Amino acid sequence: MAIESDRQAVMELPIDVTVLANLRHTARLSATHYSTQIEGNRLTQAQVIEALAGAHFPGRERDEAEVRNYYRALERVEALAAKTDRIQELELRKIHGLMMAGKATPSPYRDGQNVIRESGSGGIVYMPPEAADVPALMADLFGWIEAQLRTNELPAPLIGAIAHCQYATIHPYYDGNGRTARLLTTLVLHRAGYGLKGIYSLDEHYARDLDAYYSALTVGPSHNYYLGRAEADITGFLKYFCDSMADAVSAVRAEAARSAARGGRDASSSLRSLDPRQRRVLELFRDHAVATTAEIAQHLRLSPRTASALCRQWALTGFLEIHDPSRKARSYRLGERFESLIIG
């Protein structure tokens, strides 16, 4: 009930579009930092911001790639959340591929047994189901998610919590299961109307007390999936998840209320009509009335050729207007009907 009360309050607040975009960006940065930190990423939050802007840290190349890929996976989740069709298993495999390899190519599930071991003693903490059983278990999970989102039999936070727990329990990959489970949960909550305009992240709450997070996920009388884990009572994790979500949503309500008090109109519906790259370009045009193709390419971390093609496409739809048509120094300004999105 606390989650529902805060959710309704946040959705009804008139948040200025500039503030809304900043809150969303901050939430994505927070999710990227804390979700990768949970898995051992060594970059600080400040370094994550720098890495996403193109900075390099010698000896931390793997950490850099990890945060950049996770941020891109978050953007893909955001794009999927705006759609109305079902959450497809194939899409989560693509998200895993994007997160792990930087390419939205579906990752194949593991082809062998893996185990989770305690870092100090090396003892087995959890032995997931055999590889041969993974495809059927994953199909069942996504079928269940679709049925629940369609019928609303359970409250959305419980659907998200169970999806998170079951994905982690199946452990379909050798690596990246925790991050993908958290991304799946984010997608489920967005689709169920609990995205709160994209301005909150649960990952920081998990990272604050990792022992509590892992303890909540460790259920059943045995570490073996087939000896009790499959049918374990997950009430403890559901309580942990809902407590974490209630804390996060309460904090977002307070921050959103402060932002709304500063004035401005709610333009979240206008933002929803834009894809993730267009939303990021708004940040550039808030600071610069005109931007060259090269500046747009740098801002979006795209090749000049890709950015040029994208700008031409946006000019045809009216999102951008050509300011300087010369080939070498072609520049754009935001389309007139989109200027209100950055005025605030």
Separation of alpha carbons 146 and 133, rounded Å = 21
264 pLDDT above the threshold of 60: no
What's the average model confidence in pLDDT over 28-49?
A: 92
Amino acid at 88: Q
Percent of the chain residues past pLDDT 70, beyond the cut: 93
Amino acid at 52: L
Separation of alpha carbons 330 and 295, rounded Å = 11
> How far, in whole angstroms, is CA 227 from its chain's centroid?
33
Residues sharing a CB contact under 8 Å with residue 105, sequence separation 6 or more, in sequence order: 94, 97
Evaluate whether 98 touches 179 at the Cβ level (below 8 Å): no
Residues sharing a CB contact under 8 Å with residue 182, sequence separation 6 or more, in sequence order: 31, 35, 164, 202, 203, 206
pLDDT single digits (tens) 181-231:
999 999 999 999 888 878 888 998 899 899 999 999 999 888 999 998 999
- Give the C-alpha distances (Å, rounded to integers) separating 286 from 269, 290, 330: 19, 10, 19
Q: Which pLDDT band holds residue 100 (cuts at 50, 70, 90)?
A: very high
Q: What is the pLDDT of residue 286?
A: 78
Separation of alpha carbons 333 and 127, rounded Å = 55
Instruction: Give me the DSSP letters along 104-133.
Output: --PPPPPSS---EE-TTT--EEEB---GGG
Residues sharing a CB contact under 8 Å with residue 246, sequence separation 6 or more, in sequence order: 2, 3, 6
Task: Outline where the chain has alpha helix (H).
Answer: 2-12, 17-38, 45-52, 61-81, 89-101, 134-151, 156-170, 177-191, 203-208, 210-217, 235-261, 268-272, 276-287, 293-300, 304-317, 340-343
Instruction: Output the pTM of the full model.
Output: 0.76
Q: Which pLDDT band holds residue 85 (cuts at 50, 70, 90)?
A: confident
Q: Which pLDDT band holds residue 271 (cuts at 50, 70, 90)?
A: low
User: What stretch of H or E contains 322?
Assistant: strand 320-324
pLDDT single digits (tens) 289-316:
899 999 999 888 888 999 999 999 999 9
> What residue ranges define each of the domains in the chain, with the CATH number in brackets?
2-261 (1.10.3290.10), 274-343 (1.10.10.10)
Partnered with residue 292 across adjacent β-strands are 331
265 pLDDT above the threshold of 60: no
